[in-house]
Amino acid sequence: MAVTTLEKLDGTTNAGNLPWYLKDLYKYLGGFAVITVIYVGLRLYQGAYAVATGLDSTLPEYDAYWMRLFYGELITLMSFTAGLWSYLWFTRDRNPAALTPKAELRRHFALTMWISIYTFAVYWAGSYFAEQDNSWHQVVIRDTPFTANHIVVFYFSFPFYIMMGGSAWLYARTRLPTFAQGISLPLTLAVFGPFMILVSVGFNEWGHTFWFREEFFAAPIHWGFVIGGWFALAVGGILLQEVARMTELLDKLEDAS
Amino acid sequence: MTTNPAELAAQPYSGEKARLSRHFDYLILVLAFFLYIGSFHLNVALTVGDWDFWLDWKDRQWWPLITPLMMITFPAAVQSLLWERFRLPMGATLCMCCLLIGSWITRVFAYHYWNYFPINMVLPATMLPSALVLDVILMLTNSMTFTAIFGSAAFALLFYPSNWPMFGMFHVPVEYGGAQLTIADLFGFQYIRAGMPEYLRIIERGTLRTYGQYATPLASFFSALLCTLMYTLWWHLGKWFATVRYLKKI
């Protein structure tokens, strides 16, 4: 069914029996499902092939099972990032000031869902696969920066959450009046700080050319990752900005039972 | 009808507005859960992780000193947001629950099922009792200063006794190959770690060891002192990161 301009401005169209402000709930849950399938799939792949083919990067099977995965990840991520960010930019709202309170409230819910999916991607990168790297380094002596776990954590998980964080930033900037009028400092910190974790991979791998034999997780060459992670605390500031604006918008709504 | 502005402002939402507000809370809960697992777990793993990953790193000198010191960071920052802005006395407990969930998932699936380390060798320590006390002290005193002094000290001092029931059994001495070891040491020698030569294991260094049974209380009290400072620093870091500023350009 085509959405009329009035409905778009009012923000009252909904899917099924969901309240109008939860119109994007199924997309949100779908996002969680897709990310879960991707990461569980990658972990199963590692379980199936890492010990059999991932111990020596000079072997032909290493190219077949791991470097092809790496190139596939790069192509997929670059394509999706270009597509998603272009979509968000070219479908931007040219006049967000004309939004009704209901439409703007619905978009605040959508932004919170974007950030939530971003944090789910941060979980897989910063928690599961990051610590799994320590486990893998106790099995294999590194002979490449593209180990069977680095290919998942550094070159897929990190760029993936950057894609989701950048999408949240773009969504806010192009669709919500408060975030369009000024650049939210906490939103920017929460996206660009963890982006620096990817950049720290360079420092980490450079450091490990000296200490290729050792995996001491608390070593200073890892602290670039740590500092990037601190910026996730800025999400609290985004929520404060959203709550303040949503309170104003709720005051403009008529009471309904 | 009331005419007092203060009473007017305190009226809770009802009807659809209340439902909307509650649904937003649920979204925030999911968001916060994954946010703090991801970021706090990364912070802990890369600053004190080795002592938390491995049974044979859980010594009397470094483990009780560094673990509370690095684990009070995010709890202090999240408390500053949740208590000051929302009056929720759960910042530390939330962080610690998230950390434990993230750690357990990784220890089981990344260490045990992938690389066959025994789960006893990679058990994470807990700071949940310490976090509960930290939250309660903040709630009862409503003071960052009191919490920094007494809450942080309790946070550090409770660490060793709350973990002793889990790890004490692995400190039993055994004779092996003519040398005296602990069961924990034996785990380390039996399950070879390619990235961890023995010289890298930072445990029981220097002359503190000659203090015998006093080494652990000394480390704990020193940790209590450092936690007091670390808590204050991270409370302010948490406030700084939770800024509500807008910029003209970046």
A253 → closest Cβ in B17, B50, B109: B17
A8 in any annotated domain:
no
Q: How many CA atoms does the CB half-sphere of A132 hold within 13 Å?
A: 32
pLDDT number for residue A212: 77
Q: How many residues can be counted in chain B?
A: 250
- Give the angle A132-A135-A136 at the CA atoms, nearest 5°: 90
A237 → closest Cβ in B35, B38, B241: B241
Inter-chain touch B49–A244, beta carbons under 8 Å: no
Task: Quickly tell me which residue has 């007017």 as its tokens.
Answer: B8
A3 in any annotated domain:
no
Strand B179-182 and strand A183-184: the pairing is: unpaired
How far apart (Å, rounded) are the C-alpha atoms in residues B93 and B75?
Answer: 8
Inter-chain touch A240–B194, beta carbons under 8 Å: no
Q: What is the pLDDT of residues A109-142, one digit of tens each?
A: 999 999 999 999 999 999 999 999 999 999 998 8
pLDDT number for residue A2: 39
B243 → closest Cβ in A43, A178, A186: A186
A68 in any annotated domain:
yes
What average pLDDT does the segment B115-139 reach?
Answer: 97
pLDDT number for residue A4: 41
Preferred mutation among B42, B80, B243 to probe A, highest tally of A CBs within 10 A: B42
User: Quick one: which H or E segment has residue A183?
Assistant: strand A183-184
Question: Is B77 a residue whose pLDDT tops 50?
Answer: yes
A242 in any annotated domain:
yes
Cα nearest neighbour of B238 on chain A? A233
pLDDT number for residue B211: 82
Spell out the domains of chain B, with CATH numbers in brackets. Answer: 14-241 (1.20.1450.10)
Question: Is B103 a residue whose pLDDT tops 90?
Answer: yes
A11 in any annotated domain:
no
- A chain contacts of residue B196, beta-carbon cutoff 8 Å: 138, 214-216
A6 in any annotated domain:
no
pLDDT number for residue B122: 97
Name the pLDDT band for B7 (thresholds 50, 70, 90). low
pLDDT number for residue A74: 97
Preferred mutation among A106, A135, A162, A191 to probe B, highest tally of B CBs within 10 A: A135
Inter-chain touch A223–B110, beta carbons under 8 Å: no
Please state the three-class secondary structure of chain B as a single string. Answer: CCCCHHHHHCCCCCHHHHHHHHHHHHHHHHHHHHHHHHHHHHHHHCCCHHHHHCHHHCCCCCHHHHHHHHHCHHHHHHHHHHHHHHCCCCHHHHHHHHHHHHHHHHHHHHHHHHHCCCHHHHCCCCCHHHHHHHHHHHHHHCCHHHHHHHHHHHHHHCHHHHHHHHHHHHHCEEEECCEEEEHHHHHHHHCCCCCCCHHHCCCCCCCHHHHHHHHHHHHHHHHHHHHHHHHHHHHHHHHHHCCCCEECCC
Inter-chain touch B241–A112, beta carbons under 8 Å: no
A55 in any annotated domain:
yes
How far apart (Å, rounded) are the C-alpha atoms in residues B173 and B177?
Answer: 13
Q: Output the tens digit of pLDDT for each of chain A's 257 residues.
A: 334 444 444 555 555 689 999 999 999 999 999 999 999 999 999 999 999 999 999 999 999 999 999 999 999 999 999 999 999 999 999 999 899 999 999 999 999 999 999 999 999 999 999 999 999 999 998 899 999 999 999 999 999 999 999 999 999 999 999 999 999 999 999 999 999 999 999 999 999 988 877 899 999 999 999 999 999 999 999 999 999 999 999 999 876 65
User: In total, how many domains does chain A have?
Assistant: 1
Preferred mutation among B39, B122, B203 to probe A, highest tally of A CBs within 10 A: B39
Instruction: Tell me the shortest Cα–Cα distance from A224 to chain B, in angstroms.
Output: 10
Cα nearest neighbour of B105 on chain A? A128
A201: helix, strand or coil? helix
Q: What is the pLDDT of residues B139-165, one digit of tens each?
A: 999 999 999 999 999 999 999 999 999
How far is C-alpha A227 from the chain's CA centre? 18
The residue segments making up the domain with residue A197 are 19-252
Question: Is B48 a residue whose pLDDT tops 80?
Answer: yes
Here the CATH number for the domain that contains residue A231 is 1.20.1050.50
How far apart (Å, rounded) are the C-alpha atoms in residues B35 and B242?
Answer: 14
Instruction: Tell me the shortest Cα–Cα distance from B15 to chain A, in angstroms.
Output: 4
Inter-chain touch A186–B245, beta carbons under 8 Å: yes
pLDDT number for residue A190: 97
- Partners of B174 in the β-ladder: B181
DSSP assignment letter at A35 = H
Q: How many CA atoms does the CB half-sphere of A204 hold within 13 Å?
A: 25
Q: What is the pLDDT of residues B193-235, one digit of tens each?
A: 999 988 899 998 887 777 888 899 999 999 999 999 999 999 9
